[in-house]
Structure 1
Amino acid sequence: MDGQAIFKLLESGALDEKLKKLYVCGAGDLPRYRARFEQAIVKFEERYGAGRDLMLFSAPGRTEVGGNHTDHQRGRVLAASVNLDVIAVAARSEGGVVRIQSEGHAEDVVALERLEPQPEETGGSQALVRGICAAFSRRGCPAGGFDAYTTSDVLSGSGLSSSAAFEVLVGVMVNELYGEGRESAVEIAKIGQYAENHYFGKPCGLMDQTASSVGSMVTIDFKDPARPLVEQVPFDFAAHGYGLCIIDTHGSHSDLTPDYAAVPQEMRAVAAAMGKEVLREVDPAGFYAAVPRLRAKLGDRAVLRAMHFFDDNERVAREVEALKADDLEAFKRLLIESGRSSFMYLQNVYSPAHVEEQGVSLALALCERYLGQPGAGEGGAWRVHGGGFAGTVQSLVPLAQMDGFVQKMEAVFGAGSCHRLAVRPVGGVRVL
């Protein structure tokens, strides 16, 4: 279907139900989402030519809901896709070359006759594209050339994982353009992780890609990393009178690499001292019996971070139980417990090298003050979101308080720092 035909479908309202589902929106919001796809088609045709057989794609950002720094120890997490996404207009092409023009960025051009990693591409999006195509080829689906124009409203630097959304988007495009849709959402997530690990050069886990690819609220157990257990846990916060917010504290991420790296390093050091590779393999009772020896060998912080892992890993299971039982009050209490564990034991709310900058700590304190304690259907919940240190805070806010809450938080952290989100019920998809 060419661009003009798709324009007619969009304007006729034929895609409205899909758009409502993707963006968790009402009829009043549809014009801007239609216009977003229409503008992407215009940009595609300006760069790659009109009259081509086009497909439309979407892959969402994700938010971490439960399990803070548990995934790299093969623990459990609870995450959700959100109603911010990366979209693409794409068409097959001849010649075995992938060309992707992402709005605001230089065009990525990847010739597929070379599928091995290219050192000069390390750390760039070309590496991700090449790695994804290589992974499909090894699975018996040789990817061919295609052209794509993409645009994103997944907030960069907000902890919503715009990189994973891009990986999933490329994976879905290859799967639909050349793989007849054979690969599952979980396999597309694994392909994205593979590209990021082996081509891009970042040793990431699988949570971000899985949450984006599978969609909805999803719990993932990484006990066996080759075969993670993935389960959707649909839950409608809005139906219970609540909305999700991400508060960007705008802290500087410079010089924080040692802080981020120390978390998995110290957890693995505790596991190694217990004769294991990761903490998921360690018996908690044995760990607590060994605390005197462990603190003497590794220091107190490593012990405290291990304590956080054991508690938060089990807490995810209880959060899932609460959602399945439709017990939002129990879920809110567990969310706050998780945030306090991150603050007290994991200690990822500020850098010890920059104690004067504690935006995440301040945001958590203000959430507690403004939202109050949960109980009797009232009060909200709050927690550290993602890596921590200088990043974002996640809050669950009563809809009746939402406008006032956003205003108060943005008075402290700046206009546009408090982002309202909804859980999107689907992951990476071909829209048309």
Structure 2
Amino acid sequence: MNTDQRIEALKERFVRKFKEEATDVFSSPGRIELLGNHTDHNNGKVLVSTIDLNILAVASKRDDNRVVFYSKGFPKMTVTLSRLKLHENEYGTSVALIRGVLFKMKQLGYKIGGFNVVSDSTIFKGAGVSSSAAFEILIGKIISYYYNEDSIAAFKLAQIGQFAESVYFNKPCGLLDQSGIALGGINYIDFKYLVEPVIKNIKVKIPGYQFLLINTGDDHSKLTPCYAAIKDEMAMVSHYFGQKVLREVDEEEFYKHIDEVEKKTSHRAVLRATHYFEENKRVARAYEALTVNDFKTFFKMMDESGLSSYNNLQNCYVESEEEKLPQALKFVKTLKGEIYSRVHGGGFAGTMLVVIADKDFEENYNILVEKYGKNNVMRVALTENGTCHL
């Protein structure tokens, strides 16, 4: 179904569920991480873009201080505004995200209130396209629109979403996903100062290439301990230098003392810190390349990022290189033509990002579809809009 057909179907379902018509339509997109793999949680640099996968929602206000949410394929969710404390038994659930967003908005002094929602999504859960972040920012946007004159800034919504995911959902995360989705378009973000990061929207089209997300067959939604270990091991290195995050560590000092750091931490922690420092430089170079339409350099940096994620960050498999994601990453490297690839998102399982030049696309697309199935090889387009009221 196209967007108009989806909206019409959602409106019909809304009437069946609530016995009244929806008054508003909202959209919250997925995102792809172009570069900046696991740098955001250490105040690093990222390149992120929204894509044409999204959550569509039809909604209306209600006056009994409840949020009632129907999401296609999930049971009914209800949150009462007088009961916003954290519930540990809700960890990992969408209800936790609703409750967390509402709690943080109230804590920050924003007005909150009830609403009804019926939604569907083309963002596939657990495959690295940030379905949870899109959901969080959607909730924040609805509250902003209905109760705060749509005045809450995009980055503030991102910070609220990050809180909900880290605390109420119990999944540690940086700000890349939420920021990219709230802002919309291609954005270079430097998180050196979290309160006020440097955000540069890049007005650029990337002609002559097709972007693919390949779901390799494993769900990454249960891998929170693996993601937490990356952040913890980077923290071990930064703490060696008396700092909270790697961004505060002098890179020259790190390399100067690398042998001693490894003795005090671990070999993998040092590799992951090395990835962090080098990835920040790749992001900066890729950003500069995009600003002058130097797409070859941009894709070269993306490819190098993928190699670093595999070898240094080590987030391309959990226990064995025989797992589906590393095997897929290796398979794509055997294809002929101008092709770039990398693990996508948090890693360990799930999705990879592949970019193929138009001249080499048809043959390689057919090979990938034959190997992984048409439903697991998804063409995506970079888009300009973040979470919004339609």
What TM-score bracket applies, with the shorter chain setting the length? Answer: over 0.9
User: Where do residues 369-408 of structure 1 align in structure 2 (5 Å cutoff)?
Assistant: 369-372=334-337, 379-408=338-367
Q: Report the counterpart of residue 278 of structure 1 in structure 2.
A: 245
In the alignment, structure 1 residue 293 sits paired with structure 2 residue 263? no
Which residue of 1 is the match for residue 2 of structure 2? 32
Q: 1:355 Cα shift?
A: 3.9
Residues 1:261 and 1:41: Cα distance change in structure 2 (over 3 Å): same
Say which is worse superposed, 342-351 or 150-159, in terms of deviation. 342-351
Identity %, equivalent residues: 38
Quote how far apart the aligned CAs of 1:155 are.
1.3
Instruction: Provide the aligned C-alpha RMSD in A.
Output: 1.9
Q: Deviations over 1:105-140 (max 9, x none)?
A: 111111112333344433322222122223332343
The change in CA–CA distance for 1:41 and 1:329 in structure 2 (over 3 A counts) is: same
The equivalent residue for 2:94 is 125
CA contact (8 A) 2:14 2:22 kept: no
Distance 1:118 1:323, change over 3 A: same
CA distance in 1, matches of 2:94, 2:262: 42
1:303 maps to 2:275: no
Change beyond 3 A, Cα 1:117–1:347: closer
Residue of structure 2 in register with 1:262 after alignment: 229
Summarize the alignment of residues 106-255 of structure 1 with structure 2, pairs less than 5 Å apart: 106-237=75-206, 240-251=207-218, 253=220
Residue 354 (1) aligns with residue 323 (2):
no
The separation in 2 between residues aligned to 1:296 and 1:303, in whole angstroms, is: 10
Q: 1:73 to 1:418 in 2, by over 3 A?
A: same
Per-residue CA deviations over 1:332-358 (Å, capped at 9, x if unaligned) read 11111111111222222223x33432x
The structure with the larger Rg is 1
Letter in structure 1 aligned against 2:322: E
Q: Closer, same or farther in 2 for the Cα pair 1:366/1:280, shift >3 Å?
A: same
**1:19-69 Cα distance to aligned partner (Å, 9 max, x none):** xxxxxxxxxxxx72211100000000110113x460000000111110111
Question: How far apart are the structure 1 equivalents of 2:130 and 2:89?
Answer: 24
CA contact (8 A) 1:66 1:77 kept: yes
Matched, 1:84 2:53: yes
Match for 1:425 among 342, 364, 384?
384
Deviation at 1:147, TM superposition (A): 0.8
Q: 1:184 to 1:253 in 2, by over 3 A?
A: closer
For residue 45 of structure 1, give the secondary structure of its aligned residue in structure 2: helix
The 1:326–1:175 alpha-carbon spacing in structure 2 relative to 1, beyond 3 Å, is same
Equivalent residue for 2:306, pick from 339, 352, 374: 339
SS in 2 for 1:275: coil
Amino acid at match of 1:245: L
How far apart, in 2, do the equivalents of 1:136 and 1:275 lie?
A: 33
- CA shift for structure 1 position 295: 2.1
1:44 to 14, 34, 49: 14
Judge conservation of contact 2:127–2:220 (CA < 8 Å) in 1.
no
Structure 2: where are the runs of 5+ without partners? none
Q: 1:383 and 1:172 mapped to 2: Cα distance?
A: 31
For residues 46-85 of structure 1, what are the structure 2 equivalents within 5 Å? 46-50=16-20, 52=21, 54-85=23-54
1:73 Cα deviation from its structure 2 partner: 1.3
Q: Is the 8 A contact 1:371 1:381 kept in 2?
A: no
| d(CA) in 2 for partners of 1:253, 1:181 | 34
| SS in structure 2 of the partner of residue 64 of structure 1 | strand
Instruction: Name the CA distance, whole Å, in 2 between partners of 1:43 and 1:368.
Output: 45
Give the TM-score taking structure 2 as reference length: 0.94
The separation in 2 between residues aligned to 1:192 and 1:137, in whole angstroms, is: 13
* Displacement after TM superposition at 1:312 (Å): 0.3
Give, as a single letter, the amino acid of the residue that structure 2 aligns with 1:231: K
Tell me which amino acid in the other structure corresponds to 1:387.
Answer: G
Select between 284-293 and 189-198 the one with higher mean Cα deviation. Answer: 189-198
Change (3 A) 1:121 1:348: closer
Structure 1 gaps of 5+ residues are: 1-30, 373-378
Give the CA deviation at 1:254.
Answer: 8.8
| Count of residues paired in the alignment | 390
